Structure 1
């Protein structure tokens, strides 16, 4: 797709161009249409094949620590407190228990989480044409995280974008193109993203945050350009995860603040994993000379939830 650029020279889409792209991706995804969306592309045979990726037995978390202190990207951080024992009330003898309570905004701009298929509302509907009226104060009634209650297990593939440009991270506002994804894949001979894969895209968000400190990511962050979703559609991936939230900010799609979310979740039925961290995984992939691995994702079983905190584990 030919696209214009905005005043900063970034690729831009008009409303009409975006809707044309939406229609094309939606049509391409209909081959695996179902209430589980793209997760249906993960087959038992695919899971067994993914298990052969395990060679060293090393496990690596893809989740960032949960933020419990306010910051520019987490104005309402998770709250965690010890509820017992009270200070000074620990018995000198006998049994007692330490207990705690945890509360969080699942879809924050700092914490690793999974977006369910009921998370994105577009033109009054959810994925698969489900009316948005199915969302109530008591929770969603369909397309919830319960679709993944048995876990998401498959071959994970990490595409590391910053090294392509000789930088440790992409600056906020940078958009990853389909050409970037193809180049990151081609940088590792023998690697090819395929049907049913769990695709992870590193933009270096976490490294930048660790080294320079948090910033207002709602206003500026690196992410994917909407047309990059054509790479995912062509390869029939099952899921997309990013160390940002997949969408770049500010958006260059006129009138749509989160175009990648609309395309991935609503048009293609892709569950998204937002604000992961790959700073532990990338060095291991480099050391072992391979960028694919068995991956296990186990969201919480939260009835009616539109998302869940998550700690994906790569097993190499």
Structure 2
């Protein structure tokens, strides 16, 4: 892939003419469909494999497909049918599921951003300027998940283990709250873990949601969350300095075990300590997905990954993820392995 293909992704954040409109490639092209994944060149992936695969241990990052068994936003739980064939000589599966209800990559068709005009003040567009009408048209597969499926999401993964950091620092929080993780803390974790980032890295942040859901929350608490008209999700702080860092570090994709990756609902501002001005909040989904074409992974199971990283005393690994090859698809289970 030549430098002209992804030169816009090499530009510094502050030089971007429109930080919510970094659209790459002609409409319908491979480059447009890949979005930020153009950073995962063969050279980047080969270098990641050479440096990260050492012991051969593998860890799945896919949560149980039946979770969330009680989800918000009217998302239905997975239905799994086992169907007999030939008088029960053989069996088939039938799956009916919403990828957003368990571990998933948010694809480019998942989230839009506001692009108002005098004629259409409420206009919202998806990556590349794709409209809701284009996505609703099933004969139109532009920016569908099939582009990611064609090459996979493969490269060097790096885990920033906020859940372990919070435990050491006696920071108490609920993962279904508006607890926000600022950039300063992520940088401190990276320093403690001796992590140095490379262009094309896939960033993972563990906050501990899947363990809290599986072992701490009661059925009544899960049901109350699912019924809530204003659910709260802990996650990364949504601020311009967080966006600047994600862009300038050259991450190709980001993921966590959180429900929304970033804190939800998005906040209008964030405090910066006594005597300092608050910083304005942003809705990062509008930038990362609709603006930059960046995959956002949510509800990944990072518990065994955390244990393996601590056991090997390293927080980088090779990522091999194969999204579903569904033309026009909006999102996909990650089908993701971390290889050490």
Give the shorter-chain TM-score range.
Answer: 0.7 to 0.9
1:4 equivalent in structure 2:
none
CA distance in 1 between counterparts of 2:322 and 2:201 reads 16
Q: Which runs of 4+ in 1 moved over 6 A?
A: 30-33
1:178 equivalent in structure 2:
183
Q: Which runs of 5+ in 2 are unaligned?
A: 1-13, 115-123, 270-280
- Contact 2:19/2:291 (CA < 8 Å) preserved in 1? yes
TM-score (norm: length of structure 1)? 0.81
The aligned length equals: 283
CA distance in 1 between counterparts of 2:84 and 2:171 reads 43
CA deviations 1:186-241 (Å, max 9, x no partner) are: 1122x212211111111111121122136327612211111222221120100011
Cα shift at 1:70: 4.1
Q: SS at 1:119's partner residue?
A: coil
CA distance in 2 between counterparts of 1:132 and 1:85 reads 40
From 284, 295, 305, the equivalent of 1:281 is: 305
CA distance in 1 between counterparts of 2:24 and 2:35 reads 10
CA distance in 2 between counterparts of 1:83 and 1:139 reads 30
Mapped pair 1:266 → 2:257: no
CA distance in 1 between counterparts of 2:38 and 2:143 reads 13
From 223, 233, 256, the equivalent of 1:242 is: 256
Cα shift at 1:170: 4.3
Residue range with higher mean Cα deviation, 196-205 or 302-311: 302-311
Q: CA RMSD in A?
A: 2.8
From 199, 208, 212, the equivalent of 2:216 is: 212
Q: Which runs of 5+ in 1 are unaligned?
A: 1-19, 91-95
1:41 equivalent in structure 2:
39
Mapped pair 1:164 → 2:168: no
CA distance in 1 between counterparts of 2:106 and 2:184 reads 26
Cα shift at 1:133: 2.6
CA distance in 2 between counterparts of 1:276 and 1:312 reads 9
Cα shift at 1:118: 1.8
CA distance in 2 between counterparts of 1:23 and 1:212 reads 46
2:277 equivalent in structure 1:
none
Residue range with higher mean Cα deviation, 112-121 or 152-161: 112-121
Cα shift at 1:266: 1.3
TM-score (norm: length of structure 2)? 0.75
2:4 equivalent in structure 1:
none
Q: SS at 2:128's partner residue?
A: helix
Mapped pair 1:122 → 2:138: no
CA distance in 2 between counterparts of 1:276 and 1:210 reads 13
CA distance in 2 between counterparts of 1:100 and 1:302 reads 18
- Contact 2:267/2:282 (CA < 8 Å) preserved in 1? no
CA distance in 2 between counterparts of 1:209 and 1:222 reads 13
